[in-house]
Amino acid sequence: MARHYIGTTDQFPVGEATLVQVGGRKLGIYRFDDDQFHALLNYCPHQGAELCRGPVTSWLRSPKPGEFQYEKEGEIVRCPWHGWEFDIRSGCMVVDHKVRTLTYDVTVERFDVSVDEGKVYVKI
Amino acid sequence: MTNLGVIDCDIHHNIPDIKAIFPYLPRRYKEQIETWGPLHGGFGHNGGRHGRRFDAFPDGEQAGSNLDFMIKQHFEEYNVKYGILTGEFSSAAMVGDPYYAAALCSAYNDYTIEHWLEKDQRLRGSIVIPYHDIAASVKEIERVGSHPQMVQAYVLGGAAHPYGQRNYHPIYEACLKHGLHFAIHVGAEGASRNATTTGAGYPSYYIEGRAARPQVFMAHMASFVFEGVFELYPELKVIFIEAGVFWIAPYFWRLDQDWKALRPQTPWVEKKPSEYLQTNMYYGSQPLEEVPNKALFDQMLEASFAKDRMLFCSDYPHWDFDSPKLTFPKMEKSLLDNVLYNNAAKLYGLPLQNGTEE
């Protein structure tokens, strides 16, 4: 497993995937509100769509018809084709955890850069 | 995937903007659109983004409206050799004003010819007809039916009456006169003056109407058989697009069984209903049901006569797009070749490739 430099933190906006190509693989890098980073393989295990081109959203639940609750705000990606919902942290499809796409560890180093920004690495 | 490539029988090309059809539209309707908007519709909730794949919008343009983008994203990605264009405009038939409905259909057909068919010889077109008006539909088929790349007249599943009924027959005569097929694509069930979305009425949610599409297609299929359409027009080929696949087999088992008991009520129907399915009807593969296991999938394919009747449809660029690479479980090569290429090549008169039986 090797560590690949993919950019500085400011290059990764919150709320949308940043697509990168690392070691022959296409990944989507997600930065959450808390500055934690997550990486998903840009591939939907259902029919092969580029999963990370889908919208970043929340897990919508309901205690009863007509009422709505939003959980995991910004932590769910919906496939751009059929709308299957995946948890960005785990790569698992929310309604069926057996269906999942690969995830990768992302680390941020803050040495040698300004106090606000860090260097982002992904492990593949 | 097969090395023959793919013939995709359901590609929804689009106009970039309603004004794109203005050059083909009478002044009266241009002014009307500028003042009130296009005023045609017929669709409720959908999936994806405005019903389309999120990744199919070329730089802010309408999904499906850019030929070059479509070729790159779809034809090149999936080795699509030929595509049957089905468009986005059949809702024009739901407009109440019959003159306006006919003008919209004509304008769209003209746009398709000039901006799509004549720009790429891999494309074939569907004639959008204002099908609530039979005479106007016949007129439109007569007007553009001789274009060498037009292959079928095209309507939506949502209708006021099942398509086998007598009032529609002039449309089939016009189709046969021009060597065209008749294609029915799901859509507009319960819209405008059409019959209800399901036999039990109008449901509240998209998923219910979507799953009830087979009900509507069932009604049309039986209507073609029992009104004697295929006795009157044995050469007519009818294509059913986008209501799924695996409900067809048990439905025709029911029709065959009941035909044995009830045959004298419609004695002009000389063969078992499933025999007409095997001679006069085709169905699109999409959206293919996800069958629980491979053994069941194989059985359902066989029971549905997929080897000869199933046509691959992607529904590009709609959100429920089926990938020719990953939609199907593993299939025997000759069967996959037929579904992805040969069945459509024979039906639409496209070049057969080496090793294909005539």
Q: What is the pTM of this model?
A: 0.94
Contact B42, B94 (CB under 8 A): yes
Say whether residue A55 is in contact with chain B using an 8 A CB cutoff.
yes
Nearest CA in chain A to B329: A47
Determine the pLDDT at residue B101.
96
Indicate which CATH number applies to the domain containing B161: 3.20.20.140
Determine the pLDDT at residue B41.
65
Q: What's chain B's length in residues?
A: 358
Please tell me whether residue B100 adopts helix, strand or coil conformation.
helix
pLDDT at B249 over 70: yes
Question: Is B175 among the domain residues?
Answer: yes
Question: Is B243 among the domain residues?
Answer: yes
- Tens digit of pLDDT for each residue in B23-42? 999 999 999 999 988 877 65
Please tell me whether residue B186 adopts helix, strand or coil conformation.
coil
Q: How confident is the model at residue B1 (pLDDT cuts 50, 70, 90)?
A: low
Domain count within chain B: 1
pLDDT at B99 over 70: yes
- The label of the residue with tokens 């006021």 reads B160
Determine the pLDDT at residue B81.
98
Question: Is B355 among the domain residues?
Answer: no
Say whether residue A83 is in contact with chain B using an 8 A CB cutoff.
yes
Which residues constitute the domain of residue A10? 3-123
Mean pLDDT in chain A? 93
| B333-336 long-range contacts, CB within 8 A, separation 24+ | B333/B2, B334/B307, B335/B301, B335/B306, B335/B307, B336/B1, B336/B2
Question: Is B227 among the domain residues?
Answer: yes
Q: How confident is the model at residue B354 (pLDDT cuts 50, 70, 90)?
A: low
Say whether residue A113 is in contact with chain B using an 8 A CB cutoff.
no
Question: Is B354 among the domain residues?
Answer: no
pLDDT at A109 over 90: no
Distance (Å, whole) CA B244 – CA B267: 30
Q: Which residues of chain A have a CB within 8 Å of the CB of B205? A: none
- Tens digit of pLDDT for each residue in B184-239? 999 999 998 899 999 999 999 999 999 999 999 999 999 999 999 999 999 999 99
ipTM: 0.85
**How, if at all, do strands A69-78 and A56-61 pair?**
antiparallel
Mean pLDDT value of segment B72-87: 98
Residue B37 region, left (φ>0) first, then alpha (ψ -120 to 50), else beta?
Answer: left
Q: How confident is the model at residue B328 (pLDDT cuts 50, 70, 90)?
A: very high
Indicate which CATH number applies to the domain containing A11: 2.102.10.10
Q: Which of B125, B157, B130, B163 is CA-nearest to residue B144?
A: B125
Of B47, B55, B322, the CB nearest to A47: B322
Determine the pLDDT at residue B59.
85
Determine the pLDDT at residue B86.
98
Which residues constitute the domain of residue B217? 6-348
Mean pLDDT value of segment B164-193: 96
Question: Is B184 among the domain residues?
Answer: yes
Share of chain B above pLDDT 90, in %: 92
| A65-71 long-range contacts, CB within 8 A, separation 24+ | none
Determine the pLDDT at residue A117.
80
Domain count within chain A: 1
Q: Which residues of chain B have a CB within 8 Å of the CB of A81? A: 48, 53-55, 319-321
Burial B311-349 (b: 16+ CB within 10 A, else e): bbbbbbbbbbbbbbeebbeebeeebbbbbbbbbbbebbe
Determine the pLDDT at residue B12.
98
Determine the pLDDT at residue B60.
80
Distance (Å, whole) CA B155 – CA A45: 34
Determine the pLDDT at residue A110.
79
Mutation target to probe the A interface, by most A beta carbons within 10 A, among B1, B45, B49, B53 is B53
Distance (Å, whole) CA A60 – CA A51: 19
- Tens digit of pLDDT for each residue in B312-327? 999 999 999 999 999 9
Nearest CA in chain B to A47: B326
pLDDT at A1 over 90: no
Higher per-residue pLDDT: A68 or A23? A68
Residue B48 region, left (φ>0) first, then alpha (ψ -120 to 50), else beta?
Answer: left
Share of chain B above pLDDT 70, in %: 97
Helix H or strand E segment including B256: helix B248-262
